[in-house]
Amino acid sequence: MSVLKDGAYVGTRDVKGVTADDLVTMMVGRKIQNTYQHEDAPDTYENTEVIFEVRNLSRKDQKVKNVSFKLHKGEILGFSGLVGSGRSEMMNAIFGSEPRSAGDIFIHGKQVKINSPYSAIKNGLAMVTENRRETGFFYNFDIKQNISILPFIKTSKGKGTIGLTNNKFEKECAEEQKKNLNIKCASVDQNITELSGGNQQKVILGKWLAADSQIIIFDEPTKGIDIGSKSEIYTLMRKLADEGKGVLVVSSELPELLAVCDTIAVFREGKIVQTFPHKDATEEKIIMASTADLKERTN
């Protein structure tokens, strides 16, 4: 089996003796770690500061039913469940992009009013959406415009100032995030559509960090990106949590949740039905919790 990387030949290995990890290392150019947990991470975060809390959140369409959870400082909280279980629908309601019929949101113990993405941004929330091409970035903008637009909106008064941007501000903002997130591009003047999926995702994250977002929602954060970029995104998530920012992760990939998250909440039919600390979480337990009612109905 032969491996190419960036158009160049890397090497050939006998399929009888090569492992998946060997091939990944050849493809990426470095060894990829399997977990992003701290060796000294606590078994539970219950005694640490609560930085984000949702109480009794519901939607009129019943896709989310009376959901409550807490996110603690230093913790990465993941959400698992079948498609349509309510994970992404809950995040959209939290971020204000879809309505909720009930529920309160608290940041650092203070209740905040969020009824639109604009009010979410003003309160320090960020959402790295599942479909980056449709809702993640401005298709016709270059990298610097995509990164700098949110900090500009956040600091504006919303009175017709949109469009009155500053090229120097845009460039400085983008260059800082390019360095911070290791965005691979020829220039920040390059159109975002020319980048790989992984680097597009970094630009999207960069715009939220440039806006000083404190609570970051990742919805299917590594969908459609390469193995190396996945590893970088996981490392960035852990770094954000270490810096005291809130990190919420929705993912259909159980190995991803198990590698990154300190706590995993399982959704089923619009509700959180079980929560696992990392030390107790396994793919089997999560799948069992996700499908329990389905199994009962088919027996």
Looking up residue 267, the CATH number of its domain turns out to be 3.40.50.300
How does pLDDT run along the chain (299 residues), one tens digit per residue? 777 755 667 678 777 777 766 655 655 555 555 556 555 667 778 889 999 999 999 999 999 999 999 999 999 999 999 989 999 999 999 999 999 999 999 999 999 999 999 999 999 999 998 877 777 778 888 999 989 888 777 666 554 445 556 788 889 989 999 998 889 999 999 999 999 888 998 999 999 999 889 999 999 998 888 777 888 889 999 999 999 999 999 999 999 999 999 999 999 999 999 999 999 999 999 999 998 765 454 44
Record the tokens describing residue 40, joined without a space: 């000294």
* Domain co-membership, 134 together with 277: yes
Measure Cα distances from 162 to 48, 101, 117, 165, 218 in Å.
40, 31, 16, 7, 27
* Domain co-membership, 9 together with 74: no
* Domain co-membership, 76 together with 123: yes
User: Into how many domains does the chain fold?
Assistant: 2
Report pLDDT for 39: 57
* Domain co-membership, 67 together with 22: no
Report pLDDT for 230: 85
* Domain co-membership, 9 together with 123: no
Note the pTM of the prediction, 2 decimals: 0.82
* Domain co-membership, 105 together with 21: no
* Domain co-membership, 197 together with 114: yes
Helices 227-242 and 197-210 sit at what angle, rounded to 10 degrees? 20
Record the tokens describing residue 231, joined without a space: 């590893």
* Domain co-membership, 147 together with 203: yes
Report pLDDT for 62: 95
What sign does the CA torsion over 194, 230, 285, 105 have? Answer: negative
- Of all residues in the chain, what percent are helix, strand and coil, respectively (each to 5)? 40, 20, 40
* Domain co-membership, 44 together with 26: no
* Domain co-membership, 64 together with 206: yes
* Domain co-membership, 267 together with 193: yes
* Domain co-membership, 22 together with 46: no
Report pLDDT for 138: 80
| Structural domain that includes position 5 | 1-31
119: nearest Cα among 105, 131, 138, 135: 105
126: nearest Cα among 222, 229, 219, 200: 219
